[in-house]
Structure 1
Amino acid sequence: MVNVIIYLKKEFKAEELVSFLLSEKLIATASIDENNISYQIHNDRLHKEVYSVITAKTKAVLLNNIIKVVEEKVGADVLINSTPIVGSNKIFDELVKDNTKKN
């Protein structure tokens, strides 16, 4: 199991993407952090970006499908990463297994 983190630029509707991913059973749950501010240095200058950050729980085997769908819907320049869930209780395991596509 993994957490998938998707950084959407503010012009995209995070709620619509989450609804689609849930309806396709690609993710089990998701939370949206609106107006997340990210700072980066480019060419020695500070740049600020405002994102809607989606954090979704899913099976690791579904990650490539999620990346493909998200890139098709919002473009290939979207930032996506995942982090492993190294431990969880039975209720959490069942939530992810019961609400995502079967292998």
Structure 2
Amino acid sequence: MNKENEAKALINDLLTAELVANASLHIKNVIYRIDRGVLVANSHVVITAQTRAVLFSEIQGYIKKLHGEHVPLYSLPITQANDSFDALIRNHTKKILV
């Protein structure tokens, strides 16, 4: 995401829809890569959010619908958490019916 306001609006939408429990906004996150042997730096706005793994596909569809396929999205699994963090995620995201 390139625009701070667009990112803030997306965070609001994801929280309101209970798709994420919380989110952090990283403004001017510098990403480095090599392009034809030259180090290139690009500044981006990055959202980091915590949620349930089963909501990933729904979040992906939600973001695609609002912003298209150009928004990079990936998942990093939380393999361990204390009871307090686990409760935060469970109490602030959609209830999952099995």
- After TM superposition, the score normalised by the length of structure 1 is 0.84
Larger Rg: 2
Partner of 1:18: 11
Give 5+ residue unaligned stretches, structure 1.
1-7
Which amino acid counterpart does residue 83 of structure 1 have in structure 2?
L
Q: Deviations over 1:60-95 (max 9, x none)?
A: 000011111112222201111111111111111111
Q: Deviations over 1:27-62 (max 9, x none)?
A: 000010101011222344443321111110000000
Give 5+ residue unaligned stretches, structure 2.
none
Partner of 1:91: 84
Higher helix proportion, which one? 2
The structure, 1 or 2, with the larger RCO (C-alpha pairs under 8 Å, 6+ apart) is: 1
Runs of 4+ more than 4 Å apart: none
Partner of 2:63: 70
- After TM superposition, the score normalised by the length of structure 2 is 0.88
The two structures, once aligned, show a CA RMSD in angstroms of: 1.5
Name the SS for the 1:22 alignment partner: helix
Identity over the aligned pairs, expressed in percent? Answer: 36
